[in-house]
Amino acid sequence: MNDLTTAAIDLNELSSKLRSVPEKNQIEIIAQLANCGDPGIDILIEFLRDRLEKQPPNLADSKTYQTLLLANSLNAKEFLLNHCPRGILPLRSERGIDYYPLQQLLAQQEFLLADRMTLQKLCELAGSATVQRKWLYFTEVESFPSLDLQTIDALWWLHSEGKFGFSVQRSLWLATGKKWEKLWDKIGWKTGNRWTRYPQEFIWNLTAPPGHLPLSNQLRGVRVISALLSHPAWEEGKSPSPID
């Protein structure tokens, strides 16, 4: 059996497994197919084509989309342009906020820029005065539409393989008994009495601990992040399942 035949069998096997194994294993197979050149990319295109009919998108769908977005493939670019030009998640907003720039940064794993964009979008939600001020009052957060927070959170969650997002931070916060100092240590925002320095000491990739991003400025206290994590948007069934 020659190498080409073996390669074809391996691709067929990967393609079959991609549609049958659990989500965690799907993500591993997607990474393998990304390294198989155009034949692997074509398999991922067909996989995502089928998955786009199923909503909401899951982590495997997001990983496939990101892989195609970053691939040096004309077929992938044409497929995304025709079938999901604004990503795989409906970018819903009650206040007409455009979340496409945030979606693109997250899909491309530009987490530092995405973190800054997230604050910008939250300020836009609060209004023009907050956009000028560039930081939030907790009372503004309390009045945010649930739909918008869910959109922002889902973008972070989907494009980080489930590691980042407000819902992840909330889950960890609840697991600590709502003890802020325990949370800061768990998500890497503080070590002992020392705050992690921005931006150089934060981890802007997927090696960061769960809940590490997006950031919130604790130098003004915990009222803003408390308002975010206590928001009705995170009631059961209204946000992604963040962590096991």
> What are the residue boundaries of the structural domains of the chain, listed by start?
3-83, 100-234
CATH architecture of structural domain 100-234: Orthogonal Bundle (1.10)
CATH architecture of structural domain 3-83: Alpha Horseshoe (1.25)
Render each residue's pLDDT in the chain as its tens digit; 244 residues: 444 454 565 899 999 999 999 999 999 999 999 999 999 999 999 999 999 988 789 999 999 999 999 999 999 999 999 999 999 999 999 999 999 999 999 999 999 999 999 999 999 999 999 999 999 999 999 999 999 999 999 999 999 999 999 999 999 999 999 999 999 999 999 999 999 999 999 999 999 999 999 999 877 789 999 999 999 999 865 666 443 3
8 A C-beta contact, residue 211 and residue 128: no
Cβ-in-10-Å burial (0-12, 13-18, 19+) of 141 comes to buried
8 A C-beta contact, residue 210 and residue 156: no
**Residues 188-201, buried b or exposed e (16+ Cβ, 10 A)?**
bbbeeeeebeeeee
Closest CA to 134 of 152, 146, 149, 122: 122
Q: pTM value?
A: 0.93
pLDDT score, position 217: 85
Q: Tokens representing 125? A: 């939600």
The yes-or-no answer to whether 3-83 and 100-234 have a common fold is: no
pLDDT score, position 54: 82
8 A C-beta contact, residue 167 and residue 157: yes
